[in-house]
A and B are shown apart, each in its own frame.
Chain A
Amino acid sequence: MSHGHEPARGVAEGAGHQIGLSSRERIRWTPAELYSEQVTATARKRLLWWTPAWLSLVAALLLSLLGIEAISTTRPDSAAKQGTFLLIGLVAAAIVATPSYRWYRRAIIALSIVVLALLVFVLLPFVPESIVRPRNGSRSWIALGPMDFQPSELAKTVYILALAAWLSQTQIHRTLRGYIAVVGLTLLPIGLIVLEPDLGSALLFLPTMAAMVIAAGTKKRHVIASVVLAAIMVPVAYGFVLKPYQRARIDAIIAQISGDTRFEKREGFQGWRAMRLVGSGGVLGVGEEHARALVTFNGLPEEHNDMIFAVVCCRWGLAGGIALWGSFLLFAVGGLATAAICRDPFGRLAAVGIVAISFTQMTINTGMTIGLLPITGITLPFVSYGGSSLLATWLNVGLLINIGLRRPKVDERSYLDE
């Protein structure tokens, strides 16, 4: 059994676990090679390892604490609850980080089936309202006693794992057919989530997929063609697919960006209120008391939830916004560095996916709050109030730490480096 000093490239003999295919060579590792040190190391020893995933953990903690403080501006009770959720999230992250992430890979088929089943379940018309209670007209929640749960949150993580597994298994995504198959796989959860309907969550999958296939080395022309196609699809969707209320939101945001206040009292109400509160914060914010009064009496809806960024900017100003984005960048740097150090294609791609989906969700949420994107019901990861969403994001953090703590040997090379 050779590991470590044997060149990773080259054809290993025996009952190898085939992790990548290329026209030029095959890479095989035995399970022992892959899991030797990680499996044998004690949890205590692993925790002392330096990994850039700790950066992401720090960033996530900062963001969560910032969120609790921001929530407490108008809703101290909710902030206390969020504190509890954070503890639960931390425990969940620790649990997720404990078994090697490669086990998740083995269970990916089962996980995918479970998630798809749940996504279908919430759509079933005969499921009683005591189990699937529509919120704001959307069937996306399953009642689970103390904490309701959104299958789409779980779907995001499982999707990342599934896509990472697939892209690390084959290089078929480098062909057009393979690329289309990847897009098809992505459209499956998107379709189910759009049906709920929860357009906001559905929007996250394509940018995440894009980040992952780019990291996996898809052909440039496919990416460019996709972007061009998407650009063409936008007006088509606007004209034929979107419902009138959705079109109105797009009209409103275009008007808002161009400073046209026509929609301020109608479709653009929420967006304008949020944007004006953001602007009111100035450079350093107005402080807790005044921010509370401004947010309350401006009647900003969902101020502790989807609109929490408006509270952050109102209370701490431009500085608060920059700190928040800085934390997200720190989270991204930590995650991408984890991917960079990791030698396992699956781990690499999963780390990229986790960073991408968090960053995308942050971009959409803060973008809509500062008046650059239309309003969609989507939370700000780590910061927004809500147990289900906080738990889901902390599961991702746990996964990232998991990947960070299980590096293969330094001189291993992934096919992704070619």
Chain B
Amino acid sequence: MPGIFHRRLLLLLAVFVIVAGLLAAQLARLAIVEGEMHARQTETFLRRRTFLPFVRGRILDRNGTVLAEDRASWDVQVEYAMIAGRWSAEKARAQARRELGANAWAKLTRDQRSAEVDARLPSWNERAEAIYAEICVAGGIDRAELDRRFDEIRGRVAQRVEAYRERLRKAAEAKAIEQGTSVAEIPEDETISEQEEPHTILADVDDATAFRFQLLSEEERDTIVVMPATQRLRPWAEVELDVDRRSLPSPLQSDRPLHLRLSGVADHIIGATRTRVFTEDLKRRPFLDERSGEVADLGGYRADRDVIGATGVERTLEDRLRGVRGVVERNLETGEATRREPVAGEDVRLTIDIKLQSWVQAALEPKLGLAKIQQWQRGWDADGEAKPGPLPVGWELNGSVVVLDIATGDILALVTTPTLAEASGMSAERRRSEGADINKAVEGVYPPGSIVKPLLYAAAVTQGVLPADLAVDCKGHFFENVTTSARCWIWRPEQGRSSTHGTLAVEEAIARSCNIYFYTVASKLGLEDVVAWYRRFGVGEPFGVGLGMAKDRSDGGVRMEGESGGVAPDAEAMKAIRASGDRSAPIFLGIGQGPIAWTPLHAANAYATLARRGDLIRPGIILDRADRGVRAPSTSLGLDATAVRKALNGLSDSVRQTYGTGNHLTLESGVQEPLTDVPGVRVWAKTGTAQAPPLRIDSGKKESADVVVRTDHAWFVGLVGNEREGTPRYAIAVLLEFGGSGGKTAGPIAAEVIRALVREGYLEGSGRKGSP
């Protein structure tokens, strides 16, 4: 039996053994149980991955013209220490420390240290000057400019620092008040990230310059950083062209072409990219897995900065345009590297012909004079006096044009004004009132007005409720004893206009746009069938041409964002109309008024459908989409051939016969000028004047109230083809918001669109152009 002291020693030894045992148990757990997991983690630090940027796919027009492409470009950045002028001091200090050794350095007093630093400072100052000089030479700027840029950055950073310190002060004060203590001191040496980061001095430099700077940065560390800054180029965003003014309405005619500079050509279609990344992007396609921090998708989005399609095709075709990053994985221990090349994004071809698009935008350019209120639209009275109008002469109009290839459903041109570029300087309120942010061609909804007349006629004949050769007697009003509503537009006895159309066949009814004929058509079809035919022609559903994004609706349905389906009454609404006992409401739908609205694309597509005798082809803006040009006979409307022929004849008469609404403009002192007489071209067209909501005009003065103007939207929708062929090739829809009379405002623009088609070779005799 050992003595008591020895027993105590044994106790201590036992404690030591137990402690060592516990430690060993933990080590065994780490090494054996979790060993592999920890090894995996630590091994990751031996691999350094760098990601190689990919090139975003190009956007091309139907002829292969580049509309948007990435161009490699570089930003040259300078470390803030250089900008702030503390670089040489930092370098001198590091050098002194290195030369003296860390221990010796640690023993020096502050004064001794600054003496050591000062001794080495001049050579570093010289080095810095040499680098500044090289930046100036390589960047093509002079020293004063470099200093100015440095000053600018210093000023900006100083502001940030002040703002940050202000925030800290506020927070400290708030805390002091909350806790009832005194305000804590803000540490003086606290820095913000901008004080540690490099800043861009030369933006968007080419490869050769970037390479020079790269060499410079490798020669002297902590000076320069060359950052990839790929630019998205849109060579057609700005277009300059000369418009021949000899064929314009005579008040605008001139022998000298008008030089126009168009901005934002097709920018509603092509769209733009953004570099800000939203949570929904990260949710949809993250680059890094949120929890593990591992790479989840090499093509995914980075939280800090990425290039993402924001609008237009850039947005809707984001997944095709976007590429996949490459990876270089270097093993730091062995120096071995594996390289996976980046995959460029896919090129996308649009159905748009960018030249045609430009000409069409030129026609809609108010500077040309067509998209403006002109006196010829208001007319002159019998005494030759200029009639007043709701909007002043010279008032600029916004509008939209769609040109559709009938055989394929390709959208050749799709213009909306103002363009995004034109709207970029506008106030938010003005953007809203001008509808600048919506693509009016596919998102703007307007009542169709008279342009539906031939469609409903063909529908009624196909339905069998109307004989194709029906003649109707226009007495000025539809209902027997009612003279105040459901009248023909020509009949305004209270204004002294009491002439009527008399007895009309359908061709003349279309050409003259007689309301009474089409009230009759609508009344024969009945409310439900009129609405059903509208729907068959596409109202109520967006086409999905490639400009909209399907979004899940809260009620479980799908909503198309960026494209509109228009408006048609649903069963409920129709029941309400019936219940109201209003007899005129159903028949108004026959002339495109009432609870019905569509987009310019719907109008063009409906006319293309008519030209195809009812065959439905989904229009589209992406050239290589799978369903391009596919006819869907099973869903063909199977329009009656005779009815289609008669309707087309009516449309033809509308422009050919002098009584046709689309035939001519009447200018001052009664001079008539043909509207669409382009040599070699056959036109089938219909004008439309559709009720517009009240237009509120800011009087410009604070004291006076806004002026509210009642006027109409102007439509001109038609089909064009080669004169000799005699069949339509393209459908055109022109809409001028608040343009008033369709023929007089939208007509001349349609004529310019037709001339543009001719100019671009679309209406030559030898078959259709531009269908690859």
- Interface-side segment among A40-48, A57-65, A326-334: A326-334
Does A290 make an interface contact (CB < 8 A)? Answer: yes
Distance of A329 Cα from B333 Cα, bound (Å): 36
Closest-by-CB residue of B relative to A259 is B34
CB pair A135 B19 closer than 8 Å: no
Q: A336-B13, A416-B5 given as contacts; is B27 within 8 A of A278 (CB)? A: yes
Q: A278-B31, A333-B13 given as contacts; is B5 within 8 A of A340 (CB)? A: yes
Chain B residues 1-31 with CB under 8 Å of chain A are 3-6, 8-9, 11-13, 16-17, 19-20, 22-24, 26-28, 30-31
Please give, as numbers and ranges, the residues of chain B lying within 8 Å of A318 by CB-CB distance: 27-28, 31-32
Q: A279-B30, A332-B16, A359-B19 given as contacts; is B8 within 8 A of A135 (CB)? A: no
Q: A130-B107, A130-B109, A280-B38 given as contacts; is B13 within 8 A of A370 (CB)? A: no
Does A321 make an interface contact (CB < 8 A)? Answer: yes
Chain A residues 326-384 with CB under 8 Å of chain B are 328-329, 332-333, 336, 339-340, 348, 352, 355-356, 359, 363, 366-367, 370-372
- Interface-side segment among A88-96, A111-119, A209-217, A228-236: A209-217
Closest chain-A Cβ to B25's Cβ sits at a distance in Å of 10
Contact of A298 among B3, B35, B42 (CB under 8 A): B42
Distance of A135 Cα from B106 Cα, bound (Å): 9
> What would be 20 A-B contacts, judged by CB atoms less than 8 Å apart?
A129-B109, A129-B110, A130-B108, A133-B107, A211-B12, A275-B30, A278-B27, A282-B31, A282-B39, A290-B333, A298-B42, A298-B45, A317-B31, A318-B32, A329-B20, A339-B9, A359-B16, A416-B5, A417-B4, A417-B6
Distance of A214 Cα from B6 Cα, bound (Å): 11
Contact of A313 among B27, B37, B43, B110 (CB under 8 A): B27
CB pair B109 A279 closer than 8 Å: no
CB pair B8 A214 closer than 8 Å: yes
Which residues of B are at the interface with A, using a C-beta cutoff of 8 A?
3-6, 8-9, 11-13, 16-17, 19-20, 22-24, 26-28, 30-32, 34-35, 37-39, 41-43, 45-46, 103, 106-110, 332-333
Distance of A192 Cα from B765 Cα, bound (Å): 104
CB pair B38 A279 closer than 8 Å: yes
Select the residue from B4, B31, B46 with max chain A CB neighbours within 10 A.
Answer: B31
Closest chain-A Cβ to B5's Cβ sits at a distance in Å of 4
Distance of A299 Cα from B106 Cα, bound (Å): 23
Please give, as numbers and ranges, the residues of chain B lying within 8 Å of A298 by CB-CB distance: 42, 45
Q: A130-B109, A215-B5 given as contacts; is B13 within 8 A of A321 (CB)? A: no
Closest chain-B Cβ to A122's Cβ sits at a distance in Å of 15
CB pair B333 A293 closer than 8 Å: yes
Closest chain-B Cβ to A384's Cβ sits at a distance in Å of 17
CB pair B9 A215 closer than 8 Å: yes
Chain A positions 22 through 41: 1 when the CB is less than 8 Å from some CB of chain B, otherwise 0: 00000000000000000000
Distance of A46 Cα from B4 Cα, bound (Å): 29
Q: A352-B9, A371-B26 given as contacts; is B37 within 8 A of A279 (CB)? A: yes
Closest-by-CB residue of A relative to B20 is A325
CB pair B31 A294 closer than 8 Å: no
CB pair A283 B12 closer than 8 Å: no
The secondary structure that dominates the B interface is helix
Does A414 make an interface contact (CB < 8 A)? Answer: yes
CB pair B3 A417 closer than 8 Å: yes
Chain A positions 293 through 307: 1 when the CB is less than 8 Å from some CB of chain B, otherwise 0: 110011100000000
Chain A residues 127-175 with CB under 8 Å of chain B are 128-130, 133, 135, 143, 148
The 9 closest A-B pairs by CB, nearest first: A279-B38, A293-B333, A279-B30, A417-B3, A280-B39, A318-B31, A276-B38, A416-B5, A297-B45
Closest-by-CB residue of B relative to A128 is B109
Please give, as numbers and ranges, the residues of chain A lying within 8 Å of B27 by CB-CB distance: 278, 313, 318, 321-322, 370
Does A277 make an interface contact (CB < 8 A)? Answer: yes
Contact of B12 among A215, A321, A371 (CB under 8 A): A215
Please give, as numbers and ranges, the residues of chain A lying within 8 Å of B22 by CB-CB distance: 372
Please give, as numbers and ranges, the residues of chain B lying within 8 Å of A217 by CB-CB distance: 4-5, 8
The secondary structure that dominates the A interface is helix
Does A67 make an interface contact (CB < 8 A)? Answer: no
Closest chain-A Cβ to B284's Cβ sits at a distance in Å of 26
Closest-by-CB residue of B relative to A342 is B5
Please give, as numbers and ranges, the residues of chain A lying within 8 Å of B109 by CB-CB distance: 128-130
CB pair A143 B107 closer than 8 Å: yes
Please give, as numbers and ranges, the residues of chain B lying within 8 Å of A340 by CB-CB distance: 5-6, 9
Distance of A62 Cα from B41 Cα, bound (Å): 32
Please give, as numbers and ranges, the residues of chain A lying within 8 Å of B20 by CB-CB distance: 325, 328-329
Does A13 make an interface contact (CB < 8 A)? Answer: no
Closest-by-CB residue of A relative to B331 is A293
CB pair B32 A215 closer than 8 Å: no
Closest chain-A Cβ to B633's Cβ sits at a distance in Å of 62
Distance of A313 Cα from B26 Cα, bound (Å): 12
Contact of B333 among A277, A278, A297, A363 (CB under 8 A): A297
Given A281-B35, A289-B333, A417-B3: 15 more A-B contacts, CB < 8 Å: A129-B109, A143-B107, A214-B12, A276-B41, A279-B38, A280-B39, A294-B43, A294-B46, A298-B42, A325-B20, A332-B16, A333-B13, A372-B22, A372-B26, A414-B5
CB pair B39 A321 closer than 8 Å: no
Select the residue from B13, B16, B35, B38 with max chain A CB neighbours within 10 A.
Answer: B16
Please give, as numbers and ranges, the residues of chain B lying within 8 Å of A299 by CB-CB distance: 45
Q: A217-B4, A318-B28 given as contacts; is B12 within 8 A of A282 (CB)? A: no
Closest chain-A Cβ to B101's Cβ sits at a distance in Å of 11
Q: A211-B12, A340-B9 given as contacts; is B106 within 8 A of A280 (CB)? A: no
CB pair A371 B5 closer than 8 Å: no
CB pair A325 B46 closer than 8 Å: no
Distance of A214 Cα from B11 Cα, bound (Å): 9
Distance of A313 Cα from B3 Cα, bound (Å): 39
Distance of A414 Cα from B5 Cα, bound (Å): 9
Contact of A372 among B3, B8, B23, B108 (CB under 8 A): B23
Please give, as numbers and ranges, the residues of chain A lying within 8 Å of B38 by CB-CB distance: 275-280
Closest-by-CB residue of A relative to B19 is A363
Please give, as numbers and ranges, the residues of chain A lying within 8 Å of B333 by CB-CB distance: 289-290, 293, 297
Distance of A336 Cα from B2 Cα, bound (Å): 14
Please give, as numbers and ranges, the residues of chain B lying within 8 Å of A416 by CB-CB distance: 4-5
Distance of A363 Cα from B27 Cα, bound (Å): 13
Please give, as numbers and ranges, the residues of chain B lying within 8 Å of A355 by CB-CB distance: 12, 16
Q: A133-B106, A279-B37, A340-B6 given as contacts; is B17 within 8 A of A329 (CB)? A: yes
Select the residue from B9, B28, B34 with max chain A CB neighbours within 10 A.
Answer: B9
Chain A residues 246-282 with CB under 8 Å of chain B are 275-282
Q: A215-B5, A281-B31, A318-B32 given as contacts; is B42 within 8 A of A294 (CB)? A: yes
Closest-by-CB residue of B relative to A293 is B333
Closest chain-B Cβ to A417's Cβ sits at a distance in Å of 4
Please give, as numbers and ranges, the residues of chain A lying within 8 Å of B5 by CB-CB distance: 215, 217, 340, 348, 414, 416-417
Contact of A277 among B3, B16, B26, B42 (CB under 8 A): B42
Please give, as numbers and ranges, the residues of chain B lying within 8 Å of A322 by CB-CB distance: 24, 27
Select the residue from A289, A299, A355 with max chain B CB neighbours within 10 A.
Answer: A355
Please give, as numbers and ranges, the residues of chain B lying within 8 Å of A321 by CB-CB distance: 23-24, 27, 31
Closest chain-A Cβ to B464's Cβ sits at a distance in Å of 75
Closest chain-A Cβ to B563's Cβ sits at a distance in Å of 45
Closest chain-B Cβ to A66's Cβ sits at a distance in Å of 16
Distance of A416 Cα from B13 Cα, bound (Å): 17
CB pair A297 B332 closer than 8 Å: yes
Please give, as numbers and ranges, the residues of chain B lying within 8 Å of A332 by CB-CB distance: 13, 16
CB pair A279 B34 closer than 8 Å: yes
Distance of A294 Cα from B114 Cα, bound (Å): 38
Closest chain-B Cβ to A355's Cβ sits at a distance in Å of 8
CB pair A283 B30 closer than 8 Å: no
Chain A residues 49-91 with CB under 8 Å of chain B are none
CB pair B12 A313 closer than 8 Å: no
Please give, as numbers and ranges, the residues of chain B lying within 8 Å of A313 by CB-CB distance: 27, 30-31
Distance of A306 Cα from B109 Cα, bound (Å): 27
Closest-by-CB residue of A relative to B46 is A297
Distance of A14 Cα from B332 Cα, bound (Å): 77
